[in-house]
Amino acid sequence: MAQTEVTGRYAARGVSVQKTDVHAAVRDTDPGLFPGAFCKIIADDLTGDRAYCLAMHADGAGTKASLAYLVYRETGDAAVFRGIAQDALVMNIDDLLCVGASGPFLVSNAIGRNKILVPGDVVSQIVAGFEEQATQFAQWGMDVVLTGGETADVGDLVRTVIVDATAVARMRRDRVIANDRVRPGDVIVGLASFGQTTYEERYNSGIGSNGLTSARHDLLHADYAGRYPESFDPAMPADLVFSGPHHLETHLPGTQVSVGSALLSPTRTYAPVVRALLESHREHISALVHCTGGGQTKVLRTGTRIHYVKDHPFPPPPLFAEIQRVSGAPWREMYQVFNMGHRMEIIGNERLVPIVEKICAGYNLECRVVGHCEASPDGPQNRVTLTAPDGEEIIYPVPG
């Protein structure tokens, strides 16, 4: 399915939202047992049991690790990297939740660092962060088994540090949510990415682990470019490098936290909510979508011949509103780069709405019906129509 790339500041910084070249490269590879599922699912060839399958996923914290490096150099506090481990782990586990997997999960991490700039105390904090987050998952009855990993000193390739992980879960094939049941009339329930749930220690800006290349450069001051040239790509256009008005300690308007704290908010997991829903009402779920890379257009790869009408999205949380204000990025770009307020979508029969609301209320997690599904006017191609804060109706992909 062809999708229109963002052509604004994000692309100019060398980042691809839709990764059309990557998708083209893997177009002819085996799509797995359930081609429409959120993660690739393969046969359980380890046991040969055809009733089971393996769901696998690999992801990481992305350039958020460069932001943590910057904070570390400014403060000397290596503990900021614990949140980066949470980012890498949640980006995998929450993707696997979208196929209906609820554990046990086997996780291996991969840390690539520039040893001259990133010493062992940083690595220790990253490892501790993985262990800390695995313990929290266990409190919800979800086993995350850390199998070890690889720490590579690759200063010739990595300017600071990169933190990735791979996760695998074994599950029954008849329990898979294949995302192939979306129908006109289904509702779209969004789970908020911002605020403070009962399982978070502080306010979460909602940034997650996507769009950080633009977020940090649009918000942070040019001072950081001079002090930490290793924290960005030297090939980036100079006017897009740390082009914002803020310092890390600057207060973020509309919140009680600093800009730096907001940008480093650990990626929120939706595990306790989704797990409870899977246990009680799995049969009513048409699809689960983790709105990560591609933001509010991620759903375009879910189902067929569906028009996703998002006419009641969350108002942009303070961090996203500030990014838009200082950068002047159009809403079309903002909603395709960032999650803009909700990062998990539950799609299904409207009977799900009060059930999801009740589960979310128990965790102080805001949710709302952000839209509904119609038949696509574009034939076999899916469409998203989103109502922006100024009332503009934005269509993805661009018609024609």
DSSP string covering 355-382: HHHHHHHTTT--EEEEEEEEE-TTTTS-
The fourth-level CATH superfamily of domain 36-173 is PurM-like, N-terminal domain (3.30.1330.10)
Domains of the chain, by residue range, sit at: 1-30+177-400, 36-173
Cβ atoms within 10 Å, residue 372: 18
pLDDT tens for residues 97-150?
999 999 999 999 999 999 999 999 999 999 999 999 999 999 999 999 999 999
Question: What distance in Å separates the CA atoms of residue 80 and residue 72, rounded to the nearest whole number?
Answer: 7
Q: Please tell me which residue, 386 or 10, carries the higher pLDDT value.
A: 386
pLDDT of residue 398: 82
pLDDT tens for residues 27-54?
657 889 999 999 999 999 989 999 999 9
The alpha helices in 140-289, defined as continuous H runs, are 212-219, 223-227, 259-263, 271-281
pLDDT above 70: residue 312: yes
pLDDT of residue 4: 40
pLDDT of residue 262: 98
Q: Give the burial class of 193: count Cβ atoms within 10 A of its Cβ; 0-12 exposed, 13-18 middle, 19 or more buried.
A: buried
pLDDT above 70: residue 25: no
Domains 1-30+177-400 and 36-173 share a fold: no
Question: What distance in Å separates the CA atoms of residue 315 and residue 331, rounded to the nearest whole number?
Answer: 12
Q: Is 276 left (phi over 0), alpha (psi -120 to 50) or beta?
A: alpha
pLDDT of residue 3: 40
Copy the structure tokens of residue 250: 């600057």
Q: Which of 212, 231, 217 has its CA nearest to residue 117?
A: 231
CATH of the domain spanning 1-30+177-400, picked from 3.90.650.10, 3.10.250.10, 3.90.1150.10, 3.40.640.10: 3.90.650.10
pLDDT above 80: residue 399: no
Question: What distance in Å separates the CA atoms of residue 12 and residue 7, rounded to the nearest whole number?
Answer: 7
pLDDT tens for residues 347-385?
999 999 999 999 999 999 999 999 999 999 988 899 999
Copy the structure tokens of residue 103: 């554990």
Question: What distance in Å separates the CA atoms of residue 164 and residue 107, rounded to the nearest whole number?
Answer: 10
pLDDT of residue 28: 59
pLDDT above 50: residue 1: no
Question: What distance in Å separates the CA atoms of residue 167 and residue 56, rounded to the nearest whole number?
Answer: 6
The beta strand positions in the chain, using DSSP E, are: 41-43, 52-60, 105-113, 144-153, 161-172, 187-192, 285-290, 306-310, 342-348, 367-375, 383-387, 393-396
Cβ atoms within 10 Å, residue 346: 28
Q: Lowest-pLDDT range, 227-231, 285-289, 395-399?
A: 395-399
User: 183, 255 in Cβ contact below 8 A?
Assistant: no
